[in-house]
Structure 1
């Protein structure tokens, strides 16, 4: 790539005309106290999900998405459908052959607290990465996207997998620190640390909102 096309600063990377906000798996089964994950963890005696914190994350994502749209950035929502007819055999084994998480057409697969606007992209995925066997990369390329801002859940699973896959495809990646969450605190903190060192920036949403307003696409 010619040197004059490199995006060396965060401000340059976050020009809305070539930036996409990816909202990952903000669905009831992952986020709600009555969702599949919360019930499964309670039944096994494990620490359950932080539904109240997920609600706060949803509010922050809503503000960030509104700012992204206002600046002219792309907003894309990734949703998981984990019916076993869609999953790879290894994923079924990893799920311990217990079907029920994010089933197509179910309340659990529906959005948690926030939902896409009509002009937003919606991408359905059947594994952790939003790029694997989906049209996400083609859709982003068609829009001239060079930078991804990631938010949603879980930090150390689907957010992390999508972020790394995007980086491998050549995108700049930015993690919205206060707009991601996980029931695994060590995994959450580990992902934040790894992204900072090896992949891209980790930035709170107020600063992202400010940067997205510096060079609006309409300007």
Structure 2
């Protein structure tokens, strides 16, 4: 029986390629308490992706979305009103279930893209990484925007079909359709385990 991830791959993947463990970095997007209910179903897939990346020597980088003042809201303030994630609140912290280890970077951001004003691109370049594997929440907002930005900055993008989540299947699949068509190679945990085991 197909998993949700493998089913999505067969439906939406336009091209196939495996990530290169020597070139890739894993991005774990916004796995924070604010999104706990949405993220809970993908925790096993997130942990599997993190574990196989660590075993293969692939750097794991987390992002954390938070706002400090109205000056950094940008259009998100208009769009979402008061429903924002504020620094210093329990909701802004990474979910303990994700299992971040000491020393693994946490990129602080205040908009959808993990690259916008964060230093993430320079961090990846300094690591000698030219590929990113995108996991986390929300599929169609921060994950998709980060993936598109990565592509435009010249990174090869791998986007997880089973280690990303959002508020509806329709929005999740719309992102997979769009990214698979023009921006990213779609993967799931089985693909990552197979590819990264080649180290």
After TM superposition, the score normalised by the length of structure 1 is 0.79
> How does 1:167-178 map onto structure 2 within 5 Å?
167-178=151-162
Matched, 1:205 2:194: no
Going from structure 1 to structure 2, the CA distance change for 1:89 and 1:77 (only over 3 Å counts) comes to: closer
Moved over 4 A (4+): none
The answer to whether the 8 A contact 2:16-2:185 is kept is no
Which consecutive unaligned segments of at least 5 residues does structure 1 have? 1-7, 33-49
Higher relative contact order (CA 8 A, sep 6+): 2
User: 1:132 maps to which residue?
Assistant: 116
Count, aligned residues:
184
User: 2:31 maps to which residue?
Assistant: 26
Q: Deviations over 1:106-149 (max 9, x none)?
A: 11011222132123221000100000001100000001111110
User: 2:165 maps to which residue?
Assistant: 181
Which consecutive unaligned segments of at least 5 residues does structure 2 have? 1-14
Give the whole-Å Cα distance in 2 for the aligned partners of 1:10 and 1:27.
30
Root mean square deviation of aligned Cα: 1.7
Give the whole-Å Cα distance in 1 for the aligned partners of 2:27 and 2:57.
14
Going from structure 1 to structure 2, the CA distance change for 1:205 and 1:158 (only over 3 Å counts) comes to: same
After TM superposition, the score normalised by the length of structure 2 is 0.86
User: 2:17 maps to which residue?
Assistant: 10
The 3-state SS of whatever aligns with 1:30 is: helix
Per-residue deviation, 1:27: 0.6
Give the whole-Å Cα distance in 2 for the aligned partners of 1:150 and 1:169.
15
State which of 88, 91, 109 in structure 2 corresponds to 1:108: 91
Larger Rg: 1
